[in-house]
Amino acid sequence: MNGALYFCTPHNIIQSLEPESGKVLWSFDPMMKRDPFYQHQTCRGVSWNDSSAYAAPADSTPEQQAATTSAVAECPRRILASTVDARLFALNADTGELCKTFGTDGYVDLMEGMIDTNRATYQQTSAPLVTKDLIILGSAIADNYYENNPSGVIRAFDVRTGKVVWKFDASKPNDTAPLAPGEHYEPNSVVAWTQFAADENLGLAYIPFGNASPDQVGISRTPEQEAFVDALAALDLKTGQLKWKFQTSHHDLWDRDNPSQPVLLNLPKDGVDTPAIIIPTKIGNLWVLDRTNGKPILPISDVPVSTNTDIAGEKLSPTQPMSSLNFTPAPLREADMWGATPFDQMACRTTYNQYRYDGNPWTPPTTTGSLVWPGNIGVFNWGSVAIDPVNKWLIGTPQYLAYLYKLYPRQAGDLNKRVFGGDNSGGESKPGNENLGGPYAVSIQHFRSALNAPCNAPAWGVRVGVDLKTGKTAWKYRNGTVAGQQFAGIKFPIPFEMGMLAHGGTLTTAGGVAFTAAALDDSIRGYDMQTGEVLWKMALPAGGQATPMTYRGKDGKQYIVVAAGGHGSLGTTPGDSVIAYTLD
């Protein structure tokens, strides 16, 4: 964009680099408020808008035309970004200076209109969705800190002035007008925290909603909340009105947010070239829908599940939906328990038999303890999937870890008493999910042995190729080695190809090579998209839990670039590198 490469750091510092050399052209620090209570201290990207040829519509008021003219003159090309401490801001893409005509001196306060704003509960971690005229932004609410939380409202802002154009609040879905003075957004409404997508030709924005906190207890949810939990919603770009929605799970009690950016492409359906959308999920479903109306392109079935629970007032759904295209793992058996030694394998078998497990992904959380497989890190998560839109090919990196959930009841008159002690700093399960103000706290732990190895047998992560014309998996391989992993505090030196988590995205290219750096062994790989064969591998100085990108430099060379910063929760090597490679 604009002859420059733009990226952000975990503290929302934006930098512009010369794409061929990495030379810093400018740097901007929004001075975000740093707080160890933030559940995720990260920045997943920045967004771009070119308004250099834009003129205000003829029916605009003189004041609107003057404001637009001033905004375009100040920042004809702009970088749009948000901060973890809940601000939206605009920068001149050429100079890195704040666009003072945007919001108030370059910033929009995203806390305006919010209530129930406890410390560090409202954050921004994903890049804004930017169209020709709008910035569309969701909300990231800390999982399970409190029973009552700020709103999950979706807001559309004018890309040049920062004024709110419309809102979509899942607890009040028919009122999309901006707030009037003195009004507030609906507290605790369902949240959409990940990357969004849009089809400007159809005039639709696609919003992947997640769960309503607390994630593992649904007894206090309203019908309005239930209607949008884990829904993919298509909103009118001009008005924010709901056009259609599709729910990927029912009465979510497992933190099965839709975590991935939707992917748009065209696919054949009944012999007709059809606008499609693919939404990956934590349970492993890949929902392939007609993006004009939300109807399925690949078949869907309903699976009956148990409704037995020890939580008073909890009403489990008797069925859950499944896509014909899925990477949901087979049921976990005692025979699947794995260990580096016979002793930790025996310990894993003992734990397996102590926890409730219904043999499917929908074992409800209980006060006695439940085994959840796959766990809340998902089969798919932040990295989404990558598409070859010409050959109708999909590349993904499913991952497989089991988790242990346990609910801890509070006395009715003491709902703010901490169960785990300590505070919320460090995010979920450190030391626990308190859900203060609610009747249950919850413990969420990886199902691991005393040596810190997963109890479920490898592979823990794979890479797959799917022919979307047929919906069939063409190849599947273990992805990543255990090199650098620590078991019982000892770093493992031998690069066995066990198949590791890949918490980051994949890049596809027109040359038929895919690139990913997300596995936990601090390496970037290039592989043949048609066969899955690794063609190239290079060690990184830190974890590559990011999505690579590609561009052609002024020198005519094609570059692959990746941010290698590591991942605190996954324990990969921390760093601060942006690394570019050239392709022959």
Residue numbers annotated as active site: 255
DSSP string, 96-145: --B-TTTTBTTEEETTTT--S--TT-EE--SPPEE-SSEEEE--EE-TTS
Residue 347: C-alpha distances to residues 124, 193, 234, 516 (Å):
40, 37, 47, 35
Point out which residues pair with 569 in neighbouring strands: none
For 246, the token pair is: 């599709």
What's the count of helices (H) and strands (E) in the chain, helices before strands? 3, 38
Rounded Cα distance between 5 and 24, Å, is 9
- What distance, in Å, lies between the first and last C-alpha atoms of the chain? 22
Q: Whose CA is closest to 307, among 354, 236, 251?
A: 251
In Å, how far from its chain's centre is CA 518?
14
Residue pair 153/141 in contact by the 8 Å Cβ criterion: no
- Beta partners for 150? none
Residue whose structure tokens are 């169960």 = 419
> Rounded CA gap, 455 and 338, in Å?
5
Q: Name residue, tokens 């834009």.
A: 54
What is the C-alpha to C-alpha distance for residues 462 and 495, in angstroms, rounded to an integer?
16
Do the bridges between strand 300-304 and strand 472-478 make them parallel or antiparallel, or are there none, so unpaired? unpaired
Q: Which helix (H) or strand (E) holds 472?
A: strand 472-478
Q: Which of 444, 448, 417 is nearest to 433 (CA)?
A: 444
Calpha distance 67→83 (Å, rounded):
25
**Residue 193 tokens, joined:** 């925290």
C-alpha 321/C-alpha 498 separation (Å) is 31
Distances in whole angstroms, Cα of residue 221 to Cα of each of 148, 252, 416 = 11, 11, 19
d(CA 256, CA 376): 6
Using CA atoms, how far residue 190 sits from 153, 313, 356, 553, in Å, is 8, 20, 28, 42
Identify the three-state secondary structure at position 366.
coil
Encoded tokens for 204: 């639709």
